[in-house]
Every structure is written in structure tokens, then in C-alpha cells.
């Protein structure tokens, strides 16, 4: 939930802020494989730059993202460009976004364990192979000072990987994933605000959801809880620094509540964000969405 904009590219700079952010996640810390192969706990590193450009009455969000994802014998690298068009309306803002992506998937076949070593489809002798594929996501969003609603569709190109190996059937293609994100800013007082949020994802055959709530004090300190689809409970906390609150640091601790026998119980995530000056050709009131300002 540190990165809700990933649910829909339309959310790029919707908070009216240009920024640089870094997320590092270590999932199931201490997990080890059942075999002697390399690989263990999944890890993800995420670096993003987002810039808001205003030209008269038009607001454009431009973002670049680098993601490194490691899961056992497979490593994925994503290079992404996010583009969003924000149109101000009398009571809010509607946004449209696209996110073209270049994916490099690398697989160490020697780390795979075949059920039948004599199976002719056993490709352990291949070593390590990699392949590039394009991908695309799109989305739409609507926001006001009080709430945000966004829809997104990922894997519009449905990339599949065969690593250029004759006789190796392509992996199941990445199926389209549909996302719904919504959050509400409920202010108890001038200093205290509650921000509940919901994220639902589905590929039609299955679905997942993440429901969370954060208590924010003076838009500087916040704590929160999240529950993910009968899998994990997450505790979150964060703080903004510097006089203009431009530097934010957050931490999330996951505790697995289901199927602990197949994984380690805890995961950790660290978030750092620095807000940059916005490129304006004309001064205009910005609709800020505190759901993202952490």
C-alpha cells in the first residue's frame, strides 16, 4: 500500500507533487528452499521518479520506474514510463493514464527440480536464459479533496516467455489484471485524519484484496493497519521530515496468518520519498490527496 499509484497509471502525480521514491521489500524473511538450489525469500526493489508539469489549464504527470524482482531462480527487471493526463473539473479531477513497460525475465534452468529427471522436457541443461518482452497498462481515476477512485488494467499485451528455446512451450502468458483502488480522507479535527483504503485485483478466475486504514497527525506522523486477503496483517508507520515535510520515511511489517508452514511468517518493507518542486508555467491551486502524501 506504499505504492497505490501502481494500481492505475492514471494516479501518477494525482496528488499534485513531483517526487522521487524508493521502496525495498523483503518477503518471508529467512525463507529457505527445500532443496540445495540457490534462491530463497522473494525480494523487490522499486525506484520511481514522477514529475507534474502544468501548462496553462493542463496538468501532465510523467513518471519513470525501475523494478528489480527476484523470486528463486527467476529475476525480473521492469523499465516503465508512466504518462497521465489530469483534467480539472468543478468538484474534482479526472485522470487518464498509460504505462508502457519493457520486461526482462531471466531464468536459471539449472535450479529447477524436475519431477522425472528422465522427462524429455527437462531443460536443466540449458543453464541461464533471458528474454525481453513489452507490456502495457492503462487506467482512469477521479479524485477530490475527500476521496480517490481509480480503475486500472495491467498486462494489456499479455506477454509470454519461451526464452527463444526450441521445444520449450511458452510460459502461461501474463493474464490481464483488473484493479480497483479507492480511498477516503475523513478528518476528525484540524490535526487528525483517518484514511481508509481498499485495493481489489482480479484476473476473472481469481481475486485478491487489501483493506487498510491510516491515522495521520498534522500530515506529518502516521500509523496504520492493513489486512490482505486471508494472508497477512500489516502494521505501518511513517514520518515526514524537513520544514516543508518534503522528506518522508515509512516502514511496514507483515505477519503471515495463513499457510505459515509453506513460508516464513514475517516480511519487511521500507519506503523513502522526497518531494520535488513542481514545474509550473502558471500558478494554479493544486488538489492535494493526503492518501499519497507519506
Name residue 226's beta-bridge partners: 212, 234
DSSP 3-state assignment of 125? helix
Per-residue model confidence as pLDDT tens digits over 239-260: 999 888 899 999 999 998 877 6
Helix, strand, coil percentages, rounded to 5, for the chain: 5, 55, 40
Instruction: Pick the closest to residue 232 from 204, 206, 208 (CA basis).
Output: 208
Distance CA 157, CA 135 (A): 5
* Residue 13, CB-side half-sphere exposure with 13 Å CA sphere: 32
Do the beta carbons of residue 212 and residue 232 sit within 8 Å?
A: no
Q: What is the pLDDT along the chain (294 residues), one digit of tens a residue?
A: 667 788 999 999 988 889 999 999 998 777 766 665 556 788 999 999 999 988 777 789 999 999 999 988 889 999 999 999 999 888 899 999 999 999 999 988 777 776 666 665 656 667 788 889 999 999 999 999 899 999 999 999 988 888 777 656 556 678 899 999 999 999 999 999 999 999 999 998 889 999 999 999 998 999 999 998 878 899 999 999 988 889 999 999 999 887 766 677 789 999 999 998 766 654 444 445 544 444
Q: Which pLDDT does position 9 carry in this prediction?
A: 95
Do the beta carbons of residue 220 and residue 293 sit within 8 Å?
A: no
Q: What is the DSSP letter of 220?
A: T
Q: What is the set of domains in the chain, with CATH numbers?
A: 4-173+240-280 (2.40.160)
Residues listed for the chain: 294
Other Cβ atoms less than 10 A from the Cβ of 273: the count is 24
From its phi and psi, is residue 151 left (phi > 0), alpha (psi between -120 and 50) or beta? beta
Other Cβ atoms less than 10 A from the Cβ of 38: the count is 11
Amino acid at each position: 500500500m506504499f505504492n497505490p499509484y501502481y494500481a492505475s497509471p492514471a494516479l501518477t502525480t494525482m496528488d499534485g507533487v513531483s517526487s522521487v521514491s524508493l521502496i525495498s521489500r523483503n518477503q518471508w524473511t529467512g525463507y529457505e528452499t527445500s532443496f540445495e538450489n540457490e534462491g530463497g525469500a522473494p525480494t523487490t526493489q522499486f525506484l520511481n521518479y514522477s514529475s507534474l508539469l502544468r501548462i496553462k489549464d493542463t496538468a501532465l504527470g510523467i513518471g519513470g520506474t525501475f523494478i528489480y524482482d527476484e523470486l528463486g531462480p527467476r529475476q525480473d527487471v521492469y523499465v516503465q514510463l508512466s504518462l497521465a493526463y489530469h483534467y480539472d473539473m468543478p468538484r474534482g479531477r479526472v485522470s487518464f493514464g498509460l504505462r508502457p513497460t519493457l520486461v526482462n525475465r531471466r531464468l536459471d534452468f539449472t535450479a529447477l527440480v524436475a519431477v522425472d529427471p528422465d522427462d524429455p522436457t527437462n531443460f536443466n541443461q540449458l543453464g541461464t536464459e533471458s528474454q525481453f518482452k513489452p507490456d502495457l497498462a492503462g487506467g482512469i481515476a477521479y479524485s477530490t479533496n475527500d476521496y480517490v477512485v481509480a480503475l486500472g488494467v495491467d498486462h494489456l499485451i499479455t506477454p509470454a516467455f519461451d526464452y527463444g528455446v526450441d521445444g520449450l512451450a511458452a510460459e502461461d502468458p501474463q493474464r490481464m489484471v483488473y484493479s480497483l483502488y479507492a480511498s477516503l480522507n475523513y478528518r476528525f479535527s484540524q490535526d487528525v485524519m483517518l484514511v481508509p483504503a481498499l485495493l481489489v485485483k482480479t484476473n476473472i478466475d481469481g481475486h485478491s484484496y487489501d483493506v487498510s486504514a491510516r491515522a495521520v497527525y498534522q500530515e506529518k506522523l502516521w500509523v496504520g493497519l492493513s489486512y490482505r486477503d486471508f494472508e497477512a496483517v500489516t502494521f505501518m508507520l511513517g514520518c515526514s521530515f524537513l520544514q516543508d515535510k518534503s522528506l518522508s520515511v515509512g516502514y511496514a511489517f507483515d505477519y503471515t496468518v495463513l499457510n505459515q508452514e509453506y513460508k516464513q511468517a514475517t516480511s519487511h518493507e521500507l519506503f523513502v520519498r522526497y518531494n520535488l518542486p513542481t514545474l509550473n508555467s502558471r500558478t494554479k491551486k493544486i488538489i492535494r490527496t493526503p492518501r499519497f502524501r507519506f
